[in-house]
Amino acid sequence: MGQDESRPISPSIPPRQLKSRSIESVAHYILNKPVSKIVVLTGAGLSTSAGIPDFRSPVSGLYANLARLNLPYAEAVFDISYFRQNPEPFYTLAAELYPGKFRPTLAHSFIRLLADKGLLLKLFTQNIDCLEREAGVPGDLIVEAHGSFAEQSCIECKLPYDKDEIRKHVAAKTIPRCPSCDGLVKPEIVFFGEQLPAAFFANRMLPVEADLVIVMGTSLTVQPFAGLPQLAREDAVRVLINKEVVGGLGSRADDVVVLEDCDEGVRQLAKALGWLDELDVLWAETRPATEQRVEQPELTKDEKLEQEIDKLTKEVDETLNLSKWHDERVRGDVLLAVKQDTARRTAPMEVATVNETGIDAASAPGPKPHEDTEGSLGHVFPASKPPNTADGKP
């Protein structure tokens, strides 16, 4: 279990556990091995499609957009020494990142699906946003390697602090204090200068037990988290779903590299597993209650064809009905003309025009044919009708 070489494995070297180094083969492996222990490792890329910026992207990253907080350096917002002196910048940032403002992504729901199927041995995440929990992943299956907003405590006496109280402070951008010692309170996010949670060290060897390790949305640059994929056994399958190759993944016989964003990568895997409908249902459950539109599953090719046929049939029916109406209208106009001609023949001294109601159109009060009350043709050509100013409205 030494460090993997960084160069990719030669295509001429066949896989050992998989039929090929592809998503389809990973799906076959999961379903037929059968796989029962999957470890998932995630980073900030898992949450970017939820609208949460990652930390280190040069332009869009969190650190690149903290100038407005007047920090001595960007990372100071997560530095415990700086926090002791000036906690305001952190709580300004916390108001923007606090759980409840963002919806879990499709990739978060995929991890929930693994848990529901009893396949998830453990999720190790570098993220502090709690979106895994909001997606429904059980807390006992999550190791938040860098802490999270899930719990909070006094930095002096370590007394836990009420979650509802800290939420009020975060919303108001005020600084919570410990009711026991008046020390500063902060969420149990690991700041620079603090130790990783004990849960990380208690579980860090679990990748050794895994049949499959899935790595998603991480640069694997921060230790000791970055070393977790190398703990997987040589006969375990490793899958990387990421925008770029990282951490030596792709260097083993049973490594599969998917250079996609996390949501697209898990959609491909779920489709290959035959789980896509289940995944879409789970993700729909995370939609905020205030949104009324119901997420519709993607239509199959046959369903799309049937929908198109129904649309064409409706258009044909409407065309036929229009033709029928046109025929009836023409017959009605002809009949009216015959009646008017008969009236003229039986009353030769009359020169007035009789309208459909039998009233002399020339002498009747109101507008004449093809004339409205303003004397324009607005009733025939609506675009030419002048504005109605009778009621003072334009």
**What CATH number is attached to the domain comprising 162?**
3.40.50.1220
Residue 235, in any domain of the structure: yes
The pLDDT score that the predictor gives to residue 368 is: 41
Q: How confident is the model at residue 375 (pLDDT cuts 50, 70, 90)?
A: very low
Question: DSSP letter at 79?
Answer: B
376: left (phi over 0), alpha (psi -120 to 50) or beta: beta
Report if residue 165 sits inside a domain: yes
- Has residue 346 got a pLDDT over 70? no
Position 267 in a domain = yes
- Asked if 39 and 210 touch (Cβ cutoff 8 Å), the reply is yes
Domain assignment present for residue 317? The answer is no
pLDDT at 356: 42
**In a domain? residue 66:** yes
Determine the Cα–Cα distance for residues 142 and 199; give it in Å rounded to an integer. 9
Lowest mean pLDDT among 132-146, 170-184, 343-357: 343-357
Task: Kindly report, residue by residue over 93-135, the tens digit of the pLDDT.
Answer: 888 888 888 999 999 999 999 999 999 999 999 999 999 999 9
pLDDT beyond 50 at 385: no
Is 340 part of a structural domain of the chain?
no
Please report, in range form, the residues annotated as the binding site: 154, 157, 178, 181
| Options 146, 169, 326, 379, the catalytic residue | 146
Q: Which residues define the annotated binding site for Zn(2+)? A: 154, 157, 178, 181
In the predicted structure, residue 26 carries a pLDDT above the cut 80? yes
pLDDT bucket at 2, cuts 50 / 70 / 90 = very low
Instruction: Give the chain's domain count.
Output: 1
Give the pLDDT score at 282: 96
CA separation for the pair 393, 388 (Å, rounded): 7
> By three-state DSSP, how is residue 175 classified?
coil
Q: What is the pLDDT of residue 324?
A: 56
Q: Tally helices (H) and strands (E) across the chain.
A: 10, 8
Give the range of the structural domain holding residue 134, as residue numbers without chain letter: 23-286
Whether residue 274 is contained in a domain is answered as: yes
Within a domain: 292: no
From 214, 192, 241, 207, select the one nearest 55 (Cα to Cα): 192
- Cβ–Cβ under 8 Å, residues 104 and 131: yes
| pLDDT for 387 | 43
The secondary structure of residue 6, as a DSSP letter, is: S
CA 28 to chain centre: 28
**Does the bond joining 89 to the residue before it have cis omega, within 30 degrees of 0?**
no
**Residue-level pLDDT at 92:** 85
Which pLDDT tens digit goes with each residue over 228-280? 999 999 999 999 999 999 999 999 999 999 999 999 999 999 999 999 999 99
Q: How confident is the model at residue 379 (pLDDT cuts 50, 70, 90)?
A: very low
Task: Look up the pTM and report it.
Answer: 0.70
Nearest partner of 97 among 170, 43, 21, judged by Cα = 170
Active site residue 146: yes
